[in-house]
A and B are shown apart, each in its own frame.
Chain A
Amino acid sequence: MPNKLRSKEDLEALRRELIKERKSDRPLIAVCNGTACRPYGCLQLTEAIKQELSKRGLEKKVELRITGCHGLCEKGPIVIIQPGDMFYQQVKLEDVPEILSETVIKGTVIDRLLHTDPVTDKKVVHRDEIPFYRKQERNVLGNNVEINPTKIEDYIAIGGYAALAKAILGMKPEQIIEEIKSSGLRGRGGAGFATGAKWESCRHAPGDIKYVIVNADEGDPGAYANEGLLSGNPHSVLEGLIIGAYAIGSQQGYVYVRNEYPLALANMTIALNQAEQFGLLGKNILGSGFDFSVRINRGGGAFVCGESTALMASLEGKVGEPRAKYVHTVEKGLWNRPSDLNNVETWANVPLIINKGADWYRILGTEGSKGTKIFSLVGKINNTGLVEVPMGITLREIIYDIGGGIRDGKKFKAVQTGGPSGGCLPESLLNLPVDFDELSKAGSMMGSGGMIVMDETTCMVDIAKYFLTFLEEESCGKCLPCREGIKRMRQVFDEITEGRGSDKNIEFLEQLSATLVDSSLCGLGQTAPNPVLTTIRYFRDEYEAHIKDKRCPAGVCKTLIHYYIIEEKCPGCGICVKECPQEAITFVGKKKPVVMDEAKCIKCGVCSDVCKMGAIGKR
């Protein structure tokens, strides 16, 4: 058991000791063990490196660091070698011996493991030269590479908990709140409410017992920005939370984590235990006289629990139903007491602001949105992964310069931000700066950080229907407009996508949308029409093609499409014949195109997936 740190001096002495240990001349291998690298087999890779090190008797001479997400998930598993900041991607088990003998021991670069710049087609050795990283400002996520998230020692060695010591030992709560207000930090959960103002209201709310809460119920489908941060650097979130608790006057905190994020849950649990052992949580933190403890609660797979009042109901052991917010949660929240709830990323920004000051923080960003924002850049894009960009950067820069453009040479169609509450933005808006207010003006929103890129093969009517289907399932059912309105809208989309649409559909959807916006109880219902309204606004021609011509231009809506064999391309190999579950395709002889019986086809698309020749057409 480590000794509890009882003062700032204790913390600094420990830090000096840890830095000395880290600064040894040992080479370092940092392997990403983030959630997105797991399907690539990063755990097996880590094990292989461990075994190879011990086989060569190098366990003590080479440091192996198991880290959280490095960001460029598309190219996982990722391994970084120090000294030299060498970036290896898509590393396989059989590469391990060579990495040790060539790179770690001799310092030679292995060409085939390097990243290729998609523009210049040249190999890139160092991480910071990779275009994906060049335009990013990884202020919050950057430390993921520097630490093992399950070791508090790593976090302390890179300057962790210095902001906590500075805040609780050297600043008055009002000063901290003033600093946060002046930094311009706005809530990263989506709506973008001013964090400092929220803290201030909670501090001034009457009552002795107050609560602070980390909202880690990142339910937006297609967003894993919070997951990457919580599993990769849990202490940064915790440090922010403790500072906030001190500023607000709270002695009890909660972290509400989605149960679908087992790694984030595990690493946060470890972080809490370590912080307690080191005296950074509990009684008399760092000798300041301030007491604070934290509990973890797990979600149960309900999207609506990301809403603050629903989350608090769930924390009380009730069903996660929201309530009307005539009285704000900063006055009456959890157990009817003043409660401050902020998103994972918001909390992780706090130590940065305290350490470097509000003036430093304000340099990055736009008039109304300061600092950086983390996005999970996914969908039909070349470089999928977690990116952190300065506010004000354009969508085009994110998608083309960082994301490397659209996959498979296809054409960009839309980018979706803000999850089911957000909207789809078209090519004409690619120069829009990423900023809370600009995105809202365009009909979308910042959201918690999903950025899903869509190409010409994505049907925008289907996307709107997808979000409605999602929201229909996730609506808690408490208020009528949301419960029945979303369902009715989804039914209209069924009609449109099944070729039963009528001229009146669009007008009806717009009217019903207005009703939901005006009369739903919580954000889920109020913002549910956004995907519908933005797709009508920017992609009306696709709706009209479905309704008038009974045609799905992107080739997605099953009822409206037909598969057929493109005879000139088909060599008659018969792969599709074998894979077709309906036996709808028949083999008629060597080098002769196969024949499809459309009456048997269930449009599952397996034939199109297995055909290497592109001989399956869709119309």
Chain B
Amino acid sequence: MLTMDEKVTAIIKKYDSDRGQLVSILQDIQTEYYYLPEEALIQVSETMGIPASRIFDVATFFKAFSLQPRGKHLINVCLGTACHVRGGSRVLETVERCLSIKRGETTKDRKFTLETVNCMGCCAVGPAVKIDGDYYGHMSTDKVNGLLEKF
């Protein structure tokens, strides 16, 4: 097992410490830990010589990043226009109700984190939901329970 320090070092090295690749570096750290741990961000700041304030500026600006630990399964409900006109927001409400959390939150048992996305590129099958990289199309309020039970 690599320590966080070693893993972050490897990620930075992969991008040759290129400051222009900061977003990609943060993406990779998030893929590893499901969120951006504070220690990792401090390490990026110190190794790459970028002020921590700048790193946090970027980490909080982009919607994809989370500074809070996330659950084991990441649910993304698409709220793109095509999904919206087919009832995407009602699907979101149903997921919120089923899990008793609001979007952006994580269930108490750390099993699910619920987030929304503005388009995943599969508009033709909307409303769409993505869980851990798998896509589910033609969603409706009555299919939510069955889908969540799979996990």
> Given A223-B123, A379-B86, are A302 and B136 also a contact pair (CB < 8 Å)?
no
Task: List 5 tightest A-B contacts by C-beta distance, closest first.
Answer: A300-B62, A73-B124, A39-B137, A222-B81, A221-B80
- Per a CB cutoff under 8 Å, which of B61, B64, B82, B136 touches A452? B82
Residues of B within 8 A of A385 (CB): 124
Q: Give 17 pairs: A residue, B residue, CB < 8 Å, sorted on A.
A: A35-B121, A39-B135, A73-B122, A73-B124, A221-B119, A222-B119, A260-B117, A300-B61, A301-B64, A314-B23, A315-B20, A319-B62, A320-B62, A452-B85, A458-B85, A604-B97, A606-B142
Interface string of B26-62 (1 = CB under 8 A from A): 1100000000000000000000001000100110011
Is the C-beta of A579 less than 8 angstroms from some C-beta in chain B?
Answer: yes
Of A218, A222, A610, which is in contact with the most chain B CB atoms at under 10 Å from its CB?
A222
**Are A39 and B85 within 8 A (Cβ)?**
no
CA distance A35 to B117 in the complex (A): 15
> Given A318-B58, A380-B85, are A297 and B93 also a contact pair (CB < 8 Å)?
no
Closest to A384 in B: B124
- Per a CB cutoff under 8 Å, which of A261, A315, A606 touches B94? A606
- Per a CB cutoff under 8 Å, which of B20, B63, B87, B122 touches A224? B122
**Are A606 and B141 within 8 A (Cβ)?**
yes
Residues of B within 8 A of A454 (CB): 85
Interface residues of A (CB under 8 A from B): 35-36, 38-40, 73-74, 76, 218-224, 227-228, 259-264, 295, 297-303, 314-321, 376, 378-380, 384-385, 416, 419, 450, 452, 454, 458, 463, 466-467, 470, 473-474, 476, 579, 581, 604-606, 609-610
CA distance A35 to B135 in the complex (A): 9
- Per a CB cutoff under 8 Å, which of B23, B126, B133 touches A297? B23
**Are A259 and B64 within 8 A (Cβ)?**
yes
CA distance A262 to B133 in the complex (A): 9
CA distance A476 to B58 in the complex (A): 12
How distant is B29 from chain A, measured CB to nearest CB, in Å?
12
Residues of B within 8 A of A450 (CB): 81-82, 123
Closest to B55 in A: A317
CA distance A563 to B130 in the complex (A): 30
How distant is B72 from chain A, measured CB to nearest CB, in Å?
19
Residues of A within 8 A of B119 (CB): 218-224, 260
How distant is B95 from chain A, measured CB to nearest CB, in Å?
11
Majority secondary structure, A binding face: mixed
**Are B142 and A317 within 8 A (Cβ)?**
no
**Are A38 and B141 within 8 A (Cβ)?**
no
How distant is B93 from chain A, measured CB to nearest CB, in Å?
6
CA distance A259 to B93 in the complex (A): 25
Is the C-beta of B120 less than 8 angstroms from some C-beta in chain A?
Answer: yes
**Are A316 and B20 within 8 A (Cβ)?**
yes
Closest to A264 in B: B121
Can you add 6 more A-B contacts, CB < 8 Å, to A76-B124, A376-B82, A384-B125?
A227-B121, A260-B119, A297-B21, A317-B22, A450-B81, A604-B93
CA distance A437 to B80 in the complex (A): 26
> Given A39-B135, A302-B61, A378-B124, are A609 and B80 also a contact pair (CB < 8 Å)?
no
> Given A38-B135, A39-B135, A260-B117, are A301 and B122 also a contact pair (CB < 8 Å)?
no
CA distance A463 to B20 in the complex (A): 37
Is the C-beta of B128 less than 8 angstroms from some C-beta in chain A?
Answer: yes
**Are A317 and B23 within 8 A (Cβ)?**
yes
**Are A298 and B24 within 8 A (Cβ)?**
yes
Interface string of B87-98 (1 = CB under 8 A from A): 100100110010
> Given A39-B128, A260-B120, A300-B23, are A581 and B85 also a contact pair (CB < 8 Å)?
no
Closest to A454 in B: B85
Is the C-beta of B9 less than 8 angstroms from some C-beta in chain A?
Answer: no
Residues of B within 8 A of A301 (CB): 62-64, 117-118
CA distance A301 to B76 in the complex (A): 13
Residues of A within 8 A of B73 (CB): none
